[in-house]
Chains A and B, each alone.
Chain A
Amino acid sequence: MPIFWMISTSLKAPGKIFSIPPEWIPETIVWGNYIDAINSFPFLRYTINSLIISGISVVGGVLSASLVAYAFAKLNWPGKKLWFMLLITTMMLPPQVTMIPLFIFYAELGWINTYLPLILPNILGSAFYVFLVRQFYLSIPKELNEAARIDGASELYIWSRIYLPLSKPVLATCAIFLFMFTWNDFLGPLVYLQQSEMFTLQLGLRGFQQQYGTRWNVMMAASLIVASPSIILFFYFQKYFIKGASVTGIKG
């Protein structure tokens, strides 16, 4: 897998990176590349920044997506279909087109150099996640709601006490994706953050690419370090993907 090549490159000395035939296991292993990677930019600060953005986005995003998805899947309210189509449609405009208007909009609000433009879109009902969770909720039988309603529970109760626990696999999926997208996003931080104290890890990674003289080996080391939290998170969330961990429908 190409991942091995990444790992192998990250351990190479500068001259050997592009040798033919490709050297899978480097002759001399240069662990120093990893040290270089961490020293090339304010690693700790950027990590904290990235964590703030991704952390808030994940928590807020998962909650709001499932809340809104519930509204679409289980409640009836006027204009529901129309709003849903509108929501989906917002995903169809390529981001490059809305990038400048969005930027100007945020600039007018004075939100440049804050994390608001990076976090808010995720926690205010992002179409992708709403759609995903909605599909999942639609597979949960309505009888569940009806039974609970007869017992006098409010919708909020049903949502938080019944649906949330039931939807762990899909919520875990949302968390994984949300984390990954925000963690790997570089375009957003690139244009919205102008003070380097606020930069994220991705921006640190981009810094390696120069017009002349990119340090590929150090860059690969850095990429791997930066990618690790997503991998760890994924690994951790596996427990929600084990068959039988969740039961849909309470039969009988």
Chain B
Amino acid sequence: MTMKRKESITGYLFFLPALIGLVFLLAIPIIFSLYISFTDYNMYNEFNWVGLRNYRNLFNDRLFFRSLWNTIYYVALSVPINTVVGIFLALLLNNDKIKGLKFFRTTFYLPTVVSGVAVALLWQWVLDPNFGLINNALNYIGIQGPGWLTSTVWSKPSIILMNAWAVGGTMIIYLAGLQGIPNSLYESATIDGAGPVRKFLNITLPMLSPTIFFNVIMGVISGFQVFMQAYIMTDGGPNNSTLFYAFYLYNKAFRDLQMGSASAMGWILLIITLALTLVIFKFSSSFVYYEDNSKN
């Protein structure tokens, strides 16, 4: 057996768990859902084929486009914000010399751990236009706080803010990535007389780029599926300003029982996300640096 052959077989063997998962646990439901998108299934009836009707109806649905716009707005803002904040926090908390480092990291991680409803309730309180913490604080400096969740303009930023607060998750991933950068690199840079900014731009960023790449892709994928706050707090309002795509989909599926339509929505989202991801992948070779010089 040639080396190459052996490597191929080993590759597949290692890949086996995912292969089994893909084929048995994912492929079937996924293809099934594609089929459903061409039917008028409402969870109780038979699967009646209706061709492209669901898709056509969606293109005539103003709420569909509204939800798409709301979601794009969210992704466009939250991904950069979360990336910057995540990296910033990770860098900050990467310093062994800080006393109580573990404690600080845990405080930032805490938000991600506490589950949905309690947090949502909290934020409703914090963001209350009249009695909430934020507006009270703003009042002290003499600024009239906005309506936050009750305002059509500020509702999406409110949600972006809430999710930025929960950035602990991405922070950990960046922390892990930072651990992978050998100290020796920084040491040689110091010897060469490089300052902190230089070090950051020429060592940290490139070495961290695979991790950044991961978080950006994941941020996009999960951003497009933003759902929780709309479900628990805003119900899509005010005036459909927080009607996110995944929430609209959920309503279609489980409140209006239009599974066919909802599945169609899901597949449209997949195509959009895939397209965007492929674009990012294409560009990645120019900004992502892999130590072992391999591509993609």
Complex contact flag A–B (Cβ < 8 Å): yes
Cβ–Cβ contact B115 & A223, under 8 A: yes
Interface residues of A in 111-165 (CB under 8 A from B): 120-121, 123-128, 130-132, 135-136, 138-143, 154-156, 159
Partner of A97, one of B18, B43, B262, B294: B262
Bound Cα distance from A219 to B115, whole angstroms: 11
Q: Does the CB pair A173–B176 fall under 8 Å?
A: yes
Chain A, residues 67-91, CB within 8 Å of chain B (1/0): the string is 1101111011110110101111111
- In the bound complex, CA of A141 to CA of B12 (Å): 22
- Chain B contact residue count (CB 8 A cutoff): 96
Check B267 for interface membership: any CB of A closer than 8 A.
yes
- What CA separation (Å) do A126 and B25 show in the bound complex? 11
User: In the bound complex, how far is the Cα of B291 from the Cα of A248, in angstroms?
Assistant: 10
Residues of B within 8 A of A173 (CB): 172-173, 175-176
Question: Assuming A68-B14, A219-B118, is B22 touching A87 (CB within 8 A)?
Answer: yes
Given contacts A75-B7, A180-B112, is CB(A92)–CB(B32) below 8 Å?
no
Q: Does B114 contact A (CB under 8 A)?
A: yes
Q: Cβ of B151 < 8 Å from any Cβ of A?
A: no
Name the CB-closest residue of A to B95.
Answer: A243
CB pair B14–A100 under 8 Å, yes or no, is no
Counting CB contacts under 8 A, is A249 at the interface? yes
The verdict on B270 contacting chain A, using a C-beta distance below 8 Å, is yes
- CB pair B269 A125 closer than 8 Å: no
Q: A68-B14, A126-B21, A138-B294 are in contact. Are A243 and B94 (CB under 8 A)?
A: yes
Q: Residues of B with Cβ closer than 8 Å to A?
A: 4, 7-12, 14-15, 17-22, 24-26, 28-30, 32-33, 36, 43, 94, 96, 101-102, 105-107, 109-115, 117-119, 121-123, 125-126, 131, 169, 172-173, 175-184, 207, 210-211, 213-214, 217-218, 221, 224-225, 227, 245-246, 249-250, 253-254, 259, 262-263, 265-267, 269-270, 273-274, 277-278, 290-294, 296
| Nearest 6 Cβ contacts at the A-B interface | A125-B18, A77-B11, A124-B21, A97-B266, A71-B14, A101-B32
